Chain A
Amino acid sequence: MKILNNLAKTKFWQSVFRTKLPLSTNLDRSLVIFNSLTLHIHPVKVRLRAIKFSYTFYLGMISFFLFFVLIVTGVLLMLYYQPAIPHAYRNMKDLEYVVSNGSFLRNMHRWSAHLMVISVFLHMLRVFYKGAYKPPREFNWIIGIVLLVSTLLLSYTGYLLPYDQLSYWAVTVGTNIVQYIPVAGKEIRFLLLGGNEIGEYTLVRFYVLHCVVLPLVMILLIAFHFWRIRKDGGLL
């Protein structure tokens, strides 16, 4: 404790952490939260029942945790994967059979993805049945819907990346469904595929959507989603 107190008096500590130690008043304690970027996402007050497991089943937090696992494993998988046509399938095979712990990482990514779709869906059901979509939380519900759609799109774009028969035909079927959108269906399909058939461009487009565009959208919306929970009056 004495060492910590001495450390807290150094210039280095004080330039990183604004709060003066030791803490003595309630104001000091709340300033710890207010002055920290990572901690201030917590609400000032939490109702006791809101932390009970049976209140939320922690579904939002489970989804967020799975998203975090997916980012970590996904970034590691990217290091052995090239989104090009002869390579993609072989890279996936290499990850499975050659790279140390590759199949562990790949399976972790795969299972987390499946679980995330399930947990996000259950989260939506929980919110729906508790009526937590009602004002003043209606906008956060909309953000949640966009997050659900983003989760499904991430699953779908990730599906093409192994570039095996299953991926190829799943994306053929999926992009043909897109074609049925009125007016702009054919154009959207062409833009998604980068051509008329699945090819090199499709793989790169899906790769960029899967690894850059959609995760960025997710991160921004998740941050906003959490912030809105506090602003709309806490968990319900």
Chain B
Amino acid sequence: MEKNNSGMKKSNSENKINRRKFLISLGNTATGIVVLGGIGVTFEYLTPNVLLEIPKVFKIGPINSIQPNSVIFEPEQRTFVVREEQGSFYALSAVCTHLGCTTKWNDIGAAGNSAAVISCPCHGSLFNKYGEVLQGPAPRTLDKYRVQLEDDKLVINTGEKVSEDEMILKV
């Protein structure tokens, strides 16, 4: 019994918070907070608040001057704006869905395709004129952007991706 008692006492005194343990844990906690805060502040510092990047929304037109069955490539926004025969418009991202190179529109077709194709110079992906993948390594179709009519000009928002059903603007 005595042995047990003394054992209990020992573990009690080990668990007890004395001044030394209190000050050590206080110091460690303070250091931890400062280190975490420092990491957080550094990450914030490394994330720029103002970016001088190209605006997401751009205008093109007037629509009368866009020929039917033609493509306009906007190099800054990396976007193809297409007018089809019926007078319907759509905007297609020129950024390859594989690793982000800028693709090229080939009207006469390429790599055994007689119709117009979009090809990527980096790793050889091929898309048809609606951005569907004909040949890898691209994993998915090209992004489609919302096209709206404002007065007689087209407004394209590269920040707003739309599905295939919504991509075409009939005029």
Contact = CB atoms under 8 A, between A and B. Distances in A.
Contacts of A201: 48
B2 interface: no
B53 A173 contact: no
B27 interface: no
A194 B101 contact: no
Given A169-B122, A173-B122, A201-B48, A195 B53 contact: yes
Contacts of B52: 199-200
B53 A176 contact: no
Contact of B101 (A172, A195, A196): A172
Contacts of B46: 191, 194
Contacts of A172: 99-101
Interface string B48-78: 1001111000000000000000000000000
Closest 9 CB pairs of A and B: A176-B100, A176-B99, A173-B99, A195-B51, A172-B100, A191-B46, A194-B48, A169-B101, A195-B53
A190 B99 CA distance: 15
Interface in B5-50: 43, 46-48
A201 B52 CA distance: 10
A213 interface: no
Contact of A196 (B43, B51, B98, B122): B51
Given A191-B47, A199-B52, A199-B53, 8 more contacts: A172-B100, A173-B100, A173-B101, A176-B98, A191-B46, A196-B51, A199-B51, A201-B48
B25 to A, nearest CB: 31
Chain A, interface size category, equals: 10 to 19
Interface residues of B, number: 13
A199 B52 CA distance: 9
Interface of B: 43, 46-48, 51-54, 98-101, 122
Contacts of B100: 172-173, 175-176
Interface string A105-119: 000000000000000
B40 to A, nearest CB: 13
A176 B139 CA distance: 13
A138 interface: no
Interface string A141-185: 000000000000000000000000000010011011100000000
A196 B53 contact: yes
Q: Which of A173, A177, A190, A200 has the most CB of B within 10 A?
A: A173
Contacts of B47: 190-191
Contacts of B51: 195-196, 199
Interface string A204-230: 000000000000000000000000000
Nearest to B43: A191
A197 interface: yes
A3 to B, nearest CB: 56
Contacts of A199: 51-53
A172 B121 CA distance: 13
A233 B99 CA distance: 46
A173 B26 CA distance: 48
26 contacts: A169-B101, A169-B122, A172-B99, A172-B101, A173-B99, A173-B101, A173-B122, A175-B100, A176-B98, A176-B99, A176-B100, A177-B99, A190-B47, A191-B43, A191-B47, A194-B46, A194-B48, A195-B48, A195-B53, A196-B53, A197-B53, A197-B54, A199-B51, A199-B52, A199-B53, A200-B52
A207 to B, nearest CB: 15
A19 to B, nearest CB: 42
A197 B95 CA distance: 12
A177 B98 CA distance: 9
